[in-house]
Amino acid sequence: MKDQVYEIIKEMILNQTYQLGEKINIDTLATELNVSNSPIREALTMLEKQGLVEYVPNVGSRIISFSPTAFREICFSLFTVVYGAYELCLSQNKIDIAIEKMRQLLQAQKDIDDHSDMQTSIKYALAFDKSIVYATQNTYLLSIYEQMEDIFFLMALHINQRNEEEHQRNIFEHSMILESIEKNDIAAAKHWFFIHYDKHV
């Protein structure tokens, strides 16, 4: 039961039924889902470990809100994982695997002309990043990325909602990253990776 409740609440967070910083009323949620409070509390503990929910003393559980410090830490965590994956691909001659998938996903991003389809756009953008990690064929590194994937999605959603031009900027930065990698220009690739993940709340 707790796993089912966990998936339901997580989806409510990612589709923004709950807003950032919003308090979760356990009694109300239990009534809506027709379950007891126990699986709700267990699911919230799981979501807290994942970073999507935070417990505030005398307040209770609420959806995370991005402080400037936390936001920067998440951005640089993503940079570290993805750029590290790029370097690993280079050292193991697996970069061609990444390039092929990156081309496909960049084109998919470009094909989304309607910015109102923000969630699909973000999913393709994150899939672009993930393709580099996936190309390493390193199950441990991929597991690290996937453990943080939902928080990355929530962060990207927050960025895009603040800035209507973020979709096009994302495509441009991905284009420059891919172009640098295709040219085997490691310095340029690092430069564009850093720019891409140098985001502020």
Full-model pTM = 0.85
73 to 76, 78, 145, 187, 199: CA distances (angstroms): 5, 9, 14, 23, 10
Average pLDDT for residues 170-182, to the nearest whole number?
Answer: 96
What's the DSSP call for residue 24?
A: P
75 to 46, 140, 185, 199: CA distances (angstroms): 22, 20, 23, 7
Tell me what pLDDT residue 112 has: 80
pLDDT, tens digit (0-9, with 9 covering 90-100), for 98-132: 999 999 999 998 888 655 577 888 889 999 999 99
| Domains of the chain, start order | 1-63 (1.10.10.10), 68-197 (1.20.120)
CA distance 199 to 189: 17
Residue 57, pLDDT > 80, answer yes
